[in-house]
Structure 1
């Protein structure tokens, strides 16, 4: 048997998955070195491994529509996360990266005329398709919650709704993710060194000299763990990738919208430039004028004297050069205001005259009121004075009569 045949014989789904998961863990630890050649090299290896595994699973048709979750073996169940792992690895690729990389990209980007933005769109589209396929399979197995089904139905689009309800949904998703991570970490810690999945989660690649990983894992008690613990750990891993797939679908949708907007803006700018060049006619004088117009403006300096001079000045640059009356006369002379109008003008004049008459009538009425009020005050005062004078006269007459009577002898 040739060496290539031996390699193909050892490429079983279980071994490829453990190798890919270990490479994924190593790649996440190198997140800060994403622009280095080392990172891109490991990313290329991971994508190549996952693509071989996806191709192998497609040929095997491991998951069918007529199977329930209980019908799938624990070792096969962990292979559900292969597609979201491939999608996550594809999203890590960057067509604009200047580092030396051999990371494979989807076939749609292979054209020589495709721009980096178009290449990125193809990568996002391929990754989104892997996420959707994974979520659809999980939905058939009953692993999705209502919020996950809503994300799958909208393909990550932002569904309009109540802001408070969206905030509550985000909080619930965060708590769910935190709980899933804590539970999975506890299971990994409990099975450290005994489970092949926990070894891969620690970044340890499977030994190629060992026996078939699938058969070893499928044997009851082969790893020293009970089947319930292995299945709980596998379901925890699937739960984490469900949450990540929903989140990445939303991010991919937003990034697609941004790239499409940038492409459309660039196309509109290119059309405008072509129209400008077409209108210019290609003459050298127009080209020189266009070049001179594109030069930056001459810099200017703001001095303290300028600031001091304008400190108590007006907030606008120029004072008005005419009054309001002058402006109205100018507008009338220009014909911007209509005059005349015949009966309408006469009715307006009658209204003005009527208003003047009413004002004069009101003034006369006020004068009459004031005059009557003054006369009432005068008469009241005169009556009081006459009454006082009459009383004084009576008192004087009485006094004189008494004196005269006393002067006669008895």
Structure 2
């Protein structure tokens, strides 16, 4: 009598392991190329392939049945092609171009499965075995040469998709909390998995759109590498090295001319002026003049340094101005008349109008 074959892991247990790996990769903060992350992704690919093989052997899904005919506990297994596409797209240990084309095939397989079960009405078209688009192009990106009306329609469609995505995320969060309870109703389970399938439809569309943008770049890079291998000497002198500019020598203020002649202007060990020292010397030799406030004989610096004295000076100034006005001081009257005459001959806004005509 032949021995019965040993049973392997159950499909439900295998899916739980796959889902844990997905959550780790999707939420981890470590770099994607990190060995630990890539090891997880490798195991995710292996387990997904095994789970897909098991679902095919069990014939869980077919083209001639509807979503209502699928048991609630089996709805989650429809995600396996999408999860396999996710892990394949995140792999960095192989050549990039074949990987992204393979990932696109898995994503489109998932969308086609959801279309058959009427989870979505999106028709992604057919894809060749080599990963190339057939005549029924599945590209989700907007074609070139679109008119303004079509662009506005596409923009409105994206806004509507974004709104639905946010609503699904909110509902998914509520359903997830209900699924955590000890007893869950069958309707809640079914809505939870159905909403999850719709979420992944949106995610797969985004991933395919990203892949369709990445593939032409990767193909161009592959062509450039092939050209360089064929003609290695033609590309050597395309970008001649740039001339290195001499570094700018720093300029500092030295104490006197003798110090500059001995040490040079940029010698780092030479004591330099502070701004206050430089300003004080320029005041002493008469190069600079302290700015005045127009009130008394105090400069602006003196007023800032002695606010109490400045207040007294200001009060004296205002008192003197009032006295001149009340007594009709002849000098003050003459000054105002001259100022009025000057304003008659110099209208406001005149001044230097060079290059303004």
Query: By the TM > 0.5 criterion, same fold?
Result: yes
Q: Aligned residue for 2:165?
A: 177
Q: Aligned residue for 2:219?
A: 260
Q: Aligned residue for 1:13?
A: 11
Runs of 4+ in 1 over 6 A off after TM superposition: 300-303
Displacement, 1:164?
Answer: 1.3
Measured in 1, the distance between the counterparts of 2:162 and 2:242 equals: 51
Cα displacement string for residues 259-298 of structure 1 (whole angstroms, at most 9, x for unaligned residues): 0111123333444545689xxxxxxxxxxxx8xx966546
Q: Which structure exhibits the higher relative contact order, with contacts defined as CA atoms closer than 8 Å and separated by 6 or more residues?
A: 1
Displacement, 1:127?
Answer: 1.0
Measured in 2, the distance between the counterparts of 1:33 and 1:273 equals: 34
Measured in 1, the distance between the counterparts of 2:72 and 2:199 equals: 16
CA 1:298/1:75 → structure 2, altered by over 3 Å: closer, same or farther?
closer
CA 1:66/1:270 → structure 2, altered by over 3 Å: closer, same or farther?
same
CA contact (8 A) 1:155 1:250 kept: no
Q: Aligned residue for 1:163?
A: 151
Measured in 2, the distance between the counterparts of 1:66 and 1:151 equals: 19
Measured in 1, the distance between the counterparts of 2:170 and 2:241 equals: 60
Displacement, 1:189?
Answer: 0.8
Measured in 2, the distance between the counterparts of 1:37 and 1:164 equals: 45
Measured in 2, the distance between the counterparts of 1:85 and 1:276 equals: 42
The structure with more radius of gyration: 1
Query: Which secondary structure state, in structure 1, belongs to the residue aligned with residue 60 of structure 2?
Result: coil
Q: Aligned residue for 2:320?
A: none
Which of 195, 201, 224 aligns to 1:242? It is 201
Q: Aligned residue for 1:68?
A: 66
RMSD: 2.9
CA contact (8 A) 2:30 2:37 kept: no
Q: Is 2:206 aligned against 1:230?
A: no
- Write the mapping of 1:115-264 to structure 2, written as runs, cut at 5 A: 119-145=95-121, 148-149=122-123, 154-160=137-143, 161=146, 162-194=150-182, 224-264=183-223
CA contact (8 A) 2:81 2:107 kept: yes
- Write the mapping of 1:10-409 to structure 2, written as runs, cut at 5 A: 10-95=8-93, 119-145=95-121, 148-149=122-123, 154-160=137-143, 161=146, 162-194=150-182, 224-274=183-233, 297=243, 299=245
Query: Which secondary structure state, in structure 1, belongs to the residue aligned with residue 42 of structure 2?
Result: helix
Measured in 2, the distance between the counterparts of 1:302 and 1:36 equals: 42
**How many residue pairs are counted as aligned between the two chains?**
232
CA 1:19/1:171 → structure 2, altered by over 3 Å: closer, same or farther?
same
CA contact (8 A) 1:151 1:246 kept: no
Point out the structure with the larger helix share. Answer: 1
Q: What TM-score do you get using the length of structure 2 for normalisation?
A: 0.58
Query: Which secondary structure state, in structure 2, belongs to the residue aligned with residue 154 of structure 1?
Result: coil
CA 1:295/1:34 → structure 2, altered by over 3 Å: closer, same or farther?
closer
Cα displacement string for residues 102-129 of structure 1 (whole angstroms, at most 9, x for unaligned residues): xxxxxxxxxxxxxx6xx21111111111
Measured in 2, the distance between the counterparts of 1:141 and 1:275 equals: 55
CA contact (8 A) 2:178 2:184 kept: no
Displacement, 1:45?
Answer: 2.0
Displacement, 1:157?
Answer: 4.4
Which stretches in structure 2 are left out of the alignment for 5+ residues? 127-135, 250-357
